[in-house]
Amino acid sequence: MSTTVSTGPDGSPTMTELVSGIMSDVQNLAIQHLDLFRREINDDVRKSTDAVSSLAIGLAVAQVGGFLLSLMLVHLMMQVAPQLPTWACYGIMGLTVSAIGACGILVGVKKLRSIDGHQTAKVKKDDAKWLTNSK
């Protein structure tokens, strides 16, 4: 995208016109880069929104399925061990599912604690120092 430059009396453009044309081209290029960046961000946001929607729907359906599966296992337990009262079958199933959930929570907390947020800050400081010293 070049700018039309008028010529001087001898047929060549003046220095001011050349610099003005270069600055205009740089400005147009910067605007195009920002526009492309904005479009990429919007595209990423749209794709992320679609993915989160699908995950939310899948999670909701899986929760309903897990609830129904738990009820089925309670009734199976009542059939296999008829001497157990109904409340005991629900209690055993509730404790089992709660224990599995607690294990998942503990693993998640352990992973969160292992994240070193200071590492990212240190890398940013190192990058800034490198950029300022390289000039």
pLDDT reading at 3 higher than 70: no
In Å, how far are 23, 34, 88 from 29, measured between CA atoms?
A: 10, 9, 72
- In tens, the pLDDT along 104-132 reads 999 999 988 887 766 666 766 777 777 67
114 shares a domain with 55: no
Does residue 1 carry a pLDDT above 60? no
pTM beyond 0.75: no
CA 45/CA 53 separation, integer angstroms: 12
Q: What is the largest CA-CA distance in the chain?
A: 110
With a pLDDT cut of 90, the percent of the chain lying above it is: 48
| Shared domain check, 93 and 67 | no
When pLDDT is cut at 50, 70 and 90, the band that residue 76 belongs to is very high
Q: Are residues 50 and 104 in the same domain?
A: no
Last residue of a domain, one of 39, 60, 83: 83
Nearest by Cα to 71 from 61, 52, 86? 86
Give the tens place of pLDDT for each residue, 52-67. Answer: 999 999 999 999 999 9
State which residues form the domain around 58: 1-83
Residue where one domain finishes, among candidates 67, 83, 99: 83
